[in-house]
Amino acid sequence: MMDTKIVGVRFDEERLTYCTFSNEINLGDLVIVDLDGFPFSGTVEKIRLPRKDENLEIYNTIVRVSTFEDKANYQDLLARDLYLVGQIQKEANDLNLNMTVFRVTSSIDGSKIKVMYTADERVDFRDLLKILASKLHARLELRQVGPRDRAKMVGGIGICGRPLCCSSFLNAFDIISISMAKNQLLSINIPKLSGQCGKLICCLKYENETYTREKEGFPKLGKTVKYDNREMKIISMNVLNKTITIADRESRFTLTLDEFDRKVLKNNKPQTINDASEHTVDKSESANRKSQKQNHRRSKNFNREKKRYDKKK
């Protein structure tokens, strides 16, 4: 008898199911696992030894590595499950249920059937369940999943030409926001930034921290600066190459970050004490004007509310 191993098995679901097994087993093997009293076929994706004092009772048990006969039956089972996807979707359409069935998984003896579907809102499938139970004569489990989980389960090819990250190596989904695309100076084109799930692509997060760190020495995009005695606007930046492009109506220049600091920032700093003091006074006056406008607006709103209150009285 060999040492017990912890084995991660995939059952066409978004996460691995961990099981125990004491005999020889290899990655990629098709195995039969007892899941709540029902035998399901799955593929081995991870193998490790138990940690010290790890409780093995919480894991499912692998019944056996699939035999030649099991593998032949498994192919027939896959064909049947694929057929059931269309049949269950037809029944749902007849009941006017707003749901999309995309995956059916049956136990090897056909006694339990799992149905995966997506929907924009909660679906009352009690009538559907009665119809399916009478036709399939099996225990049914209908499970609603999100669009990102569906993409992970179904798989596919991303815009980069490689298999989807979620179906390849991601174990959990991070929060992805449009601010990450803006931080990386990407064009805000939602269709191009969306994956097969319809959500923002997960890889926006991979380089976000690097861009945040590398952009620290860069000026703000769109800022107006003085260069070669002319006012020019910063129209683009390449954070990785550390270059900045400035332009006006007549010309356009691409400078390295060092050149920009030396030739542009130096020209935009106050050259004398008087210039610096005038710049400070201008900022102070601008702040005072802004404060006065805010106070005036607050006073106006207060008077308006007071009049309404007096009328009610």
Secondary structure of residue 34 in the 3-state scheme: strand
Q: In terms of Cα–Cα distance, which of 206, 174, 182, 176 is closest to 194?
A: 176
Dist CA 31 CA 47 (whole Å): 13
The dihedral built from the CA positions of residue 174, 178, 180 and 185, taken in this order, carries a sign that is positive
Report angle CA 111, 116, 122 to the nearest 5 degrees: 120
Predicted local distance difference test score (pLDDT) of residue 284: 57
What residues pair up with 149 in beta bridges, in sequence order?
none
Dist CA 190 CA 26 (whole Å): 42
CATH code for the structural domain at 218-268: 2.30.30
Superfamily of chain region 73-145: K homology (KH) domain (3.30.300.20)
Positions in the chain whose pLDDT score sits under 70? 1-2, 13-14, 266-296, 298-299, 301-313
Question: What are the sequence ranges of the domains in the chain?
Answer: 5-66, 73-145, 151-210, 218-268
Predicted local distance difference test score (pLDDT) of residue 277: 45
Predicted local distance difference test score (pLDDT) of residue 278: 44
